[in-house]
Amino acid sequence: MKKVAVLGAGIMGAGIAQVAAQGGYQVLLRDLQENIVRDGLLTVENNLAKAIQKKRLTTQQRDEILSRIQTCTDLAEVHDADLVIEAVVENMAVKKQIFAELDHLCQPHALLATNTSSLSITEIASATRRPDKVLGMHFFNPVPVMKLVELIQGLETSADTVECARQFTKQIGKEAVIIQRDSPGYIVNRILIPYINEAIFIRGEGIASSEEIDMAMKLGAGMPMGPLELADMIGLDIIYAVVLAFYSEFRDPKYRPHHLLSTMIRGGYLGKKSGRGFYKYEIEKHEEG
Ligand code: NAI
């Protein structure tokens, strides 16, 4: 495996392109418009500049990494990639359309991976004639920092495909865990989201304040962040959507969201991004234009 194409130059795609180039792969980063791909590349350049400041990288290494990243807007240019990692918007119709096109464009040996956090790998694979070569590769944000990649097998993903993806993950300096069944939330979110939801129940039942709940989990359970601070960072609307997705998929009341969560969202309390959630935040003001 030599050439990797990354589709989507947003938060996740830019990070995936960076770590793949750091791992020595030739990378093609693709998005819909020139300016979006340029922003993605700028994110990579800024990340590498920070690594140089911290003396984790030399300028020569930076130049080598950047020389391995090409960009494009035409999907047809990914035709010679050995591995395609899709990180576009979380929308099944869009992903299926892209996978169907990739299936026609790419060489028969190419692996097609999706970074989806909640959609079915099996359903995405069904848009191709090579479901054995389709898998989930779920990276974590921020990609250059977080060590884990969850590798998810769809119904027809072959053992060879998983093995190739595992080797790629190792080569880019990350650890893989294998998810043998395409199931909502995989491992990390299946545990993390109900944990956060339970903290919201404790808050909603008036058992303790946000500060006390967070302090309890940091000092009593050794968590680096409290569950409600973490909820604010992820976004309360995202937490709500994931809990509801678990609820509708598993039909188990243990995944019901507390009404405090829906009430907060209706009131515009979305967490850090809206300036208020379980805590208040200063929103950075940027000038228009
Ligand atoms: P984002 O919104 O930052 O980036 C998505 C990019 O996809 C945008 O640049 C957009 O222009 C591009 N795009 C949209 N439609 C496209 C198309 N048809 N073809 C090519 N590019 C297209 O989104 P983000 O956060 O990077 O998420 C991408 C994927 O990664 C989603 O599936 C998401 O669920 C998943 N994910 C996100 C995580 C996060 O913390 N943000 C964590 C793990 C997975």
Q: Helical H runs in 205-289?
A: 210-221, 227-234, 236-250, 259-266
Q: Is 36 in the pocket of ligand 1 (CB under 6 A)?
A: yes
Mean of the pLDDT values across residues 109-125? 96
pLDDT recorded at residue 283? 75
pLDDT at 286 over 80: no
Q: What topology does CATH give the domain 189-274? A: N-(1-d-carboxylethyl)-l-norvaline Dehydrogenase; domain 2 (1.10.1040)
Ligand 1: residue whose CA is nearest its atom 39: 141
Per-residue pLDDT, 276: 97
Lowest mean pLDDT among 81-95, 105-119, 159-173, 275-289: 275-289
pLDDT tens digits for range 255-275? 999 999 999 999 999 999 999
Cβ-in-10-Å burial (0-12, 13-18, 19+) of 102 comes to: buried
Q: Exposed (0-12), middle (13-18) or buried (19+): which is 159, by Cβ within 10 Å?
A: exposed
Binding site membership of 89 for ligand 1 (Cβ less than 6 Å):
yes
Displacement of CA 133 from its chain's centroid (Å): 20
Whether 134 and 125 have beta carbons less than 8 Å apart is answered as: yes
Q: Rounded distance, CA 60 to CA 145, Å?
A: 21
pLDDT at 213: 98
What is the percent of the chain where pLDDT is above 70?
98
DSSP-derived 3-state class of residue 64: helix
CA distance 161 to 133: 6
> What phi-psi label fits residue 275: left (phi over 0), alpha (psi between -120 and 50 degrees) or beta?
left
How confident is the model over 24-57, as pLDDT tens digits? Answer: 999 999 999 999 999 999 999 999 999 999 999 9
Residue 15, SS3 per DSSP? helix
Average pLDDT, the chain: 96
Catalytic site residue 189? yes
From ligand 1's centre to the CA of 11, what distance in Å? Answer: 7
150 is a catalytic site residue: yes
Q: 189-274: same fold as 3-179? A: no
- Residue 118 — very low, low, confident or very high, per pLDDT cuts 50/70/90? confident
Query: What is the mean pLDDT of the segment spanning 144-170?
Result: 98
The confidence score (pLDDT) of residue 289 equals 41
Could you tell me what percentage of the chain is helix, strand and coil, using 3-state DSSP and rounding each to the nearest 5?
A: 50, 15, 35
Domain 3-179, CATH number (from 3.90.1150.10, 3.40.50.1100, 3.40.50.720, 3.40.190.10): 3.40.50.720
Report which ligand 1 atom has the smallest distance to the Cα of 118: 34
Centre of ligand 1 to C-alpha 42, Å, is 17
- Overall average pLDDT of the 247-252 stretch: 94
Best of 19, 32, 88 for a ligand 1 pocket test (most atoms within 8 Å of beta carbon): 88
Query: What's the pLDDT tens digit per position in 119-141?
Result: 999 999 999 999 999 999 999 99
Q: Give the number of residues written for the chain.
A: 289
The active-site residue out of 189, 197, 210, 274 is 189
Q: From the CB of 148, is ligand 1 less than 6 Å away?
A: no
**Does 85 sit in the ligand 1 pocket, CB within 6 Å?**
no
CA of 254 to the centre of ligand 1 (A): 29
Q: Is 92 in the pocket of ligand 1 (CB under 6 A)?
A: no
Delimit the domains of the chain by residue range: 3-179, 189-274
pLDDT digits (tens, 9 = 90+) for 53-92: 999 999 999 999 999 999 999 999 999 999 999 999 999 9
* pLDDT category of residue 287 using cuts at 50, 70 and 90: low
Residue type, 66: L
Contacts for 231 with CB less than 8 Å, ≥ 6 apart: 196, 199, 200, 239, 271, 277, 278
